[in-house]
A and B are shown apart, each in its own frame.
Chain A
């Protein structure tokens, strides 16, 4: 089932800047999709179109076959949970509990169901006991988790994450990747995230759309997209570190490989086979 479908979507800002041009994409239930692109590629703009925060200037975006237009906003916003890049933009309530309750109350959830949903969301992100804390006293990683919980509590079918690992330390990145994968696997929530951090893409995505200057220039599985090394480098991105190392070793004739390893795990098994 297509959860998100964009057909010939373009978006031009009021100042004449065309952020997106003829975007076509499909997101199926349960998928993990990366929108990979350099800064200014149009990733955040695209995400805002999914949630009805912006309306396309041409083309159509549909969420579960519902066109993104005002009368469908309640259903669309229930389906698409959006986690913003900077949690300080998202966490505006006085306490963590109020923050998580916010979306639920807009869905008219109350009483015990509200309390249960808050407790569940905090448990999923591992932040039990933070209910009465103020969001501004939390660390960057904790804020990210609470921002995620505030959206998860609404039980969306799709989680849209804008630069999910931005401003996180390495341990925070690892924890978040584990958490997002668990959310996808255990809860069946579809993931779609925007990033320019190529190292997290193989860990968190099955399919990749490569976005540059408002246009999708490549799409495919993670391995397929990273095989187009020149295109990736041509838009100011790079290969994942592991792949880059393997590429250098192959160039020096020290390694013979057909597919570049993209994760530490893949590299480990490749080197393990060679050492045998």
Chain B
């Protein structure tokens, strides 16, 4: 999915999109952390179902989520298989692959299933956050949460310029293809792609120098700071929804400990 598309999706309109970015970011990142700590599959499944139901409120086609989940699902499936066949004592069944005999275990199956659910729930929650909140708001919320400024600024700049660099690389690749760059051997094509990467690297360096000059021209110095992004307070309704969501997460954590 192209970055520009993600930005457009995040700027769409739905109840979830209208929810304050600060509340959403804190709540959803907390939910990601909670999802990695739950030890009972039914609690995780419940959290995932809530996340899937939340996705419906975005009024987006399911394919957006499926595309986002496809790679993590592949990884989760590999983890599931490796855990099922390597972890535990109680045999479930055995598979024979030529000279190799693999035994699946009850404990491995349960742990693998738990890990799959964790991955899917965490990625779904993270995806909903990115689908409903512009990246700037997520980063600026992290700044409010006292994540070091230098990390936020670096991430914001990378996000800001990755569009331009991506576009440049696409344009260069198109220019290569327009001169039959795809009709040569794969080695030659790999070399062409390498040249694009090299150009992007030097281009990035040149651009960084120009950006630095632009900063200097507007009085940049070691004490320079950024203006706060959020200028309005969080509305009472958004705050209440945040508290409700936070309470639900807290309840999940408590259940997880008690059960």
Contacts and interface: CB of A to CB of B under 8 A. Distances in A.
Contacts of A86: 210
B220 interface: yes
B214 A89 contact: yes
B11 to A, nearest CB: 8
Given A106-B220, A154-B218, A136 B229 contact: no
B217 A94 contact: no
B170 interface: no
A240 B136 CA distance: 44
B164 A92 contact: no
A107 B164 CA distance: 30
Grouping DSSP codes into helix (H, G, I), strand (E, B) and loop, the B interface class, with mixed when no group exceeds half, is: helix
A94 B218 contact: no
Contact of B160 (A77, A94, A154): A94
A128 to B, nearest CB: 14
Contacts of A101: 226-227
A107 B220 CA distance: 9
Interface residues of B, number: 31
B221 A106 contact: yes
Interface bracket on A = 35 or more
Contacts, number: 94
A95 B219 contact: no
A94 B156 contact: yes
Given A86-B210, A102-B226, A106-B224, A92 B218 contact: no
Interface string A47-66: 01001110000000000000
B211 A89 contact: yes
Contacts of A94: 136, 139-140, 156, 159-160, 229
Interface in A175-223: none
A131 B159 CA distance: 18
B96 interface: no
A34 B159 CA distance: 36
Interface in B149-180: 156-157, 159-161, 163-164
Contacts of B156: 93-94
Nearest to A93: B226
B7 A137 contact: yes
B137 to A, nearest CB: 9
Contacts of A48: 213
Contacts of B11: 137
Interface of A: 48, 51-53, 74, 77-78, 80-82, 84, 86, 88-90, 92-95, 97-98, 101-103, 105-107, 114, 131-132, 134-137, 150-151, 154
Interface of B: 7, 11, 134, 136, 139-140, 156-157, 159-161, 163-164, 207, 210-211, 213-221, 224-227, 229, 231
21 contacts: A53-B217, A78-B219, A82-B218, A84-B213, A86-B210, A88-B161, A92-B214, A94-B140, A94-B156, A94-B229, A95-B229, A97-B227, A98-B229, A101-B227, A106-B219, A114-B227, A132-B229, A134-B136, A136-B7, A137-B7, A137-B11
